[in-house]
Amino acid sequence: MNGLATALFTLLRRDLILALRRRQDALVVLGFFVVVVSLFPLGVGPDPQLLRSMAPGVLWVSALLATMLSLERLFSDDFRDGSLEQILLAPQPLSLMVMSKILAHWLITGLPLVLISPLLGMQLNLDGTEILTLMAALLLGTPILSLVGAIGAALTLGLRGGGVLISLLILPLYVPALVLGAGAVDAVMYGSSAQAHLSLMAALLILTLLLAPWAIAAALRIMSD
């Protein structure tokens, strides 16, 4: 058990250190999110009411696309330099090791999106409770994006043009998170409660947490065979 905890913590720490020494990877994701959201007012015009009604969808779609950007490198760096083989050979269960990597990925790319979303919400004329709902939905939703995206990243490991393939594979699977996340903010906007959406989102997160690690581990084993 001790060896397991050490290995999981080490892998998490390693990925965080690597992200710190290669900051551009995380910053690109965050920058993309900010730029895409900021382009919408320029495209559709500065009508505050229109922007407000579009905001949930715009923010969520931008978050999905920003996450897609970071997915390709989730396993491919480790695959290229041989670290992935060593992780596969470690005596610890691969599905737990994968969870460690995904937690690191979420901390590097998902959490910054959650933290910067209030600013972008204000930019799109959302009010206080709507912004809080948006943050809660993103907090529950971005881990789902990382987990489901990791399945796609594992399945396209070592393939040429993997990035495009990930998008085709994974974006359809993001639909439930998108519908629930944008729906939660919409519900608050039209005066009802977001509780149903958020509860469903939490249930979806738990389901993904249970199933995705096995799928990712199996995909990694197949693709590195």
Partner 1 sequence: MIVWRRSAPLSRKADSPWTCVYHQPFAESPVPSMSHAARVVFPAHRLEVEGLVAERGERLLIQDLGFSLAGGELLQVAGRNGAGKTSLLRILCGLSRPLEGRICWDGVPVQRREEGPTAHLAYLGHTNALKDELSGEENLRIQSALQGRRLGRDEAWEVLGRMGLGGHEDLPVKFLSQGQKRRVALARLLLVRRPLWILDEPFAALDVQVIEVLRSALEAHLAANGMIILTTHQAVPIQGRQHTLTLGKAS
Question: Which residues contact partner 1 (rule: CB under 8 A)?
Answer: 3-4, 6-7, 10-11, 13-14, 17-18, 21-22, 80-83, 85-92, 97, 224-225
Q: Smallest distance from the beta carbon of 194 to partner 1, in angstroms?
A: 41
Q: CB-wise, 101 or 197, nearer to partner 1?
A: 101
Nearer to partner 1, 71 or 97 (CB): 97
Nearest to 130, CA basis, from 73, 199, 184, 197: 184
User: What is the nearest approach in angstroms of partner 1 to the Cβ of residue 90?
Assistant: 5
Residue closer to partner 1 (CB basis): 17 or 207? 17
How many CB atoms neighbour CB 80 within 10 A? 12
Closest CB to partner 1 among residues 128, 158:
158
- Upper half-sphere CA count for residue 64 (Cβ side, 13 Å): 21
Residue with Cβ nearer partner 1 (42 or 89): 89
In whole angstroms, how close is the CB of 30 to partner 1 at the nearest point?
A: 20
Long-range contacts of 88-97 (CB under 8 A, 24+ apart): 88/220, 88/221, 88/224, 90/7, 91/3, 92/3, 92/4, 92/7, 92/8, 93/4, 93/217, 94/217, 94/220, 94/221, 95/213, 95/214, 95/216, 95/217, 96/4, 96/8, 96/213, 97/7, 97/8, 97/11
Using CA atoms, how far apart are residues 13 and 30, in angstroms rounded to an integer? 21
DSSP state of 173: G
Q: C-beta of 216: minimal distance to partner 1 in Å?
A: 17
Q: Are 146 and 67 in contact (CB under 8 A)?
A: yes
Give ∠ CA 32-38-40 in degrees, rounded to 5: 110
Q: Which residue, 207 or 222, has its beta carbon nearer to partner 1?
A: 222
